[in-house]
């Protein structure tokens, strides 16, 4: 069994089931558990969620920490610049950097990512996923409805909710 641990860190548990024609053991479960130490750790997580009213959302902080190999952040790319602002701070040169991510959207949903480009050939970029669900005084959920088929030969119909 081969496990791709790219973009994993910390304790990882993977399992697989092997089926065979052996009547004694037609099925065998394989488990792999490992502690993955990345060249650069992303703490507390590489997934950020902004959910709630815009004025109540606090900035979120992500630390990028070296596991022994010095590195530099050369540049950050933000795929949703209309929705979030990103500030990069050097905490300890070559060892620790801090990203402060602030929601600037006033309403709506978004998803995107921040890419931090590094000078490490083995880890040229770090990706931090972003999701925002920014509410206003009036919110509609769900945004679309599946009405279904009015007759079996007709296609599925969807509708929008207008407030």
| Its pTM surpasses 0.85 | no
Please indicate, yes or no, whether residues 46 and 65 belong to a single structural domain of this protein: yes
Low-confidence residues in the chain, pLDDT < 70: 140, 143-150, 159-163
Please indicate, yes or no, whether residues 88 and 56 belong to a single structural domain of this protein: yes
In the prediction, which pLDDT does 146 show?
A: 66
The answer to the question of residue 11 being in a domain is yes
Please indicate, yes or no, whether residues 53 and 107 belong to a single structural domain of this protein: yes
**Chain centroid offset of residue 68 CA:** 25
Closest CA to 15 of 35, 1, 26, 27: 1
The answer to the question of residue 86 being in a domain is yes
Percentage, residues of the chain above pLDDT 70: 89
The answer to the question of residue 163 being in a domain is no
Please indicate, yes or no, whether residues 110 and 86 belong to a single structural domain of this protein: yes
Residue 105 structural domain: 40-135
Please indicate, yes or no, whether residues 79 and 51 belong to a single structural domain of this protein: yes
Structural domains in the chain (count): 2
Please indicate, yes or no, whether residues 59 and 84 belong to a single structural domain of this protein: yes
The answer to the question of residue 143 being in a domain is no
Please indicate, yes or no, whether residues 62 and 90 belong to a single structural domain of this protein: yes
Write the CATH number for 128: 2.60.40.10
- Write the CB contacts of 163 (distance below 8 Å, at least 6 apart in sequence): 138, 140
99-129 confidence digits (pLDDT tens): 999 999 999 999 999 999 999 998 999 999 9
The answer to the question of residue 161 being in a domain is no
The answer to the question of residue 144 being in a domain is no
The answer to the question of residue 149 being in a domain is no
DSSP assignment of 29-49, as one string?
EEEEEEEE--SEEEES-SEEE
* N-terminal to C-terminal alpha carbon distance within the chain: 53
In the prediction, which pLDDT does 149 show?
A: 64
| Distance between CA atoms of residues 157 and 162, nearest Å | 16
């Amino acid at each position: 069994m081969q496990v791709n641990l790219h973009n994993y860190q910390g304790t990882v548990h993977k399992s697989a089931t092997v089926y065979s024609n052996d009547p004694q053991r037609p099925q065998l479960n394989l488990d792999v558990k490992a502690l993955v130490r990345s060249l650069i750790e992303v703490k507390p997580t590489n997934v950020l969620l902004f959910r709630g009213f815009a004025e109540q959302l606090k900035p979120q902080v992500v630390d990028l920490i070296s596991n022994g190999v010095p590195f530099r952040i050369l540049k950050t790319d933000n795929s949703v610049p209309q929705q979030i602002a990103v500030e990069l701070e050097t905490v300890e040169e070559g060892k620790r950097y801090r990203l402060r991510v602030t929601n600037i959207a006033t309403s709506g949903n978004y998803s995107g990512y921040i890419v931090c480009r590094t000078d490490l050939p083995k880890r040229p970029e770090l990706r931090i996923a972003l999701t925002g669900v920014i509410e206003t005084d009036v919110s509609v959920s769900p945004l679309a409805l599946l009405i279904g088929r009015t007759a079996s030969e007709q296609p599925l119909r969807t509708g929008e909710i207008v407030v």
